C-alpha cells in the first residue's frame, strides 16, 4: 500500500482529537476548567452516569458522568474526549434559573456565576438530588 494511505490513517485520530479540543473551547468547557478543574471524583454523593448535558450550544448526550455531592456538582465526560477535563463546580457558584418539565424530558437551566460565566442544562433528577445546596437565581430588575 502507498505511504499516503498510512499517513491518512494516522491523521484521522489527530483530526478528531483536534475537533474535540475546538468544541471544548467554543462550548465554554475550557473556560469552566480554568476555574473549576477537579483533581479527583468525589467519593460521596449521588452519581448519574450516561446523562445528557448542555453547555452553551453544545450537547453532550449519553457520555456524561454527573455526581451530586456536598462539595458541588462534578461533571466528567468519557476519557476519549480530549480537552474536556473533569469539573467540580461548587454550589456557591451555581444558581437555578428555570425548570422545564415536558412529556418526555425534564431539565433545569443553571447559571455558573457570578457574573454569569456559563449556562448549563441538566436533567431535572440531577437537580432534585442537589436541591438542598442549590440557590435560586435572583429575579432581574
Nearest one of 60, 86, 80 to 16, comparing CA atoms: 80
- Residue 129: pLDDT above 80? yes
Dihedral of the alpha carbons of 120, 20, 88, 41, in degrees to the nearest 10: 130
Return the bridge partners of 51, or none.
Answer: 64
- According to the model, what pLDDT value does residue 18 have? 85
Measured distance CA(42)–CA(129) in Å, rounded: 15
- Residue 137: pLDDT above 80? no
pLDDT in tens, 10-56: 888 888 888 888 888 888 898 899 999 998 889 888 999 999 999 98
CATH class of the 3-136 domain in this structure: mainly beta
Measured distance CA(109)–CA(94) in Å, rounded: 10
- According to the model, what pLDDT value does residue 141 have? 44
- According to the model, what pLDDT value does residue 47 have? 93
**In the numeric block, which cell numbers belong to residue 131?**
436541591
Amino acid at each position: 500500500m502507498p505511504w499516503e494511505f498510512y499517513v491518512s490513517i494516522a491523521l484521522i485520530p489527530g483530526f478528531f482529537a483536534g475537533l474535540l479540543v475546538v468544541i471544548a473551547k467554543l462550548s465554554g468547557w475550557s473556560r469552566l476548567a480554568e476555574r473549576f478543574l477537579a483533581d479527583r471524583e468525589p467519593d460521596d454523593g449521588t452519581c448519574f452516569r450516561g446523562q445528557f448535558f448542555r453547555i452553551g450550544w453544545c450537547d453532550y448526550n449519553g457520555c456524561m458522568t454527573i455526581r451530586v455531592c456536598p462539595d458541588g456538582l462534578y461533571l466528567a465526560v468519557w476519557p476519549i474526549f480530549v480537552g474536556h477535563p473533569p469539573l467540580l463546580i461548587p454550589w456557591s457558584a451555581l444558581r437555578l434559573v428555570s425548570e422545564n418539565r415536558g412529556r418526555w424530558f425534564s431539565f433545569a437551566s443553571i447559571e455558573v456565576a457570578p457574573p454569569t460565566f456559563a449556562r448549563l442544562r441538566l436533567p431535572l433528577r440531577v437537580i432534585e438530588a442537589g436541591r438542598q445546596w442549590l440557590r435560586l437565581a435572583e429575579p432581574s430588575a
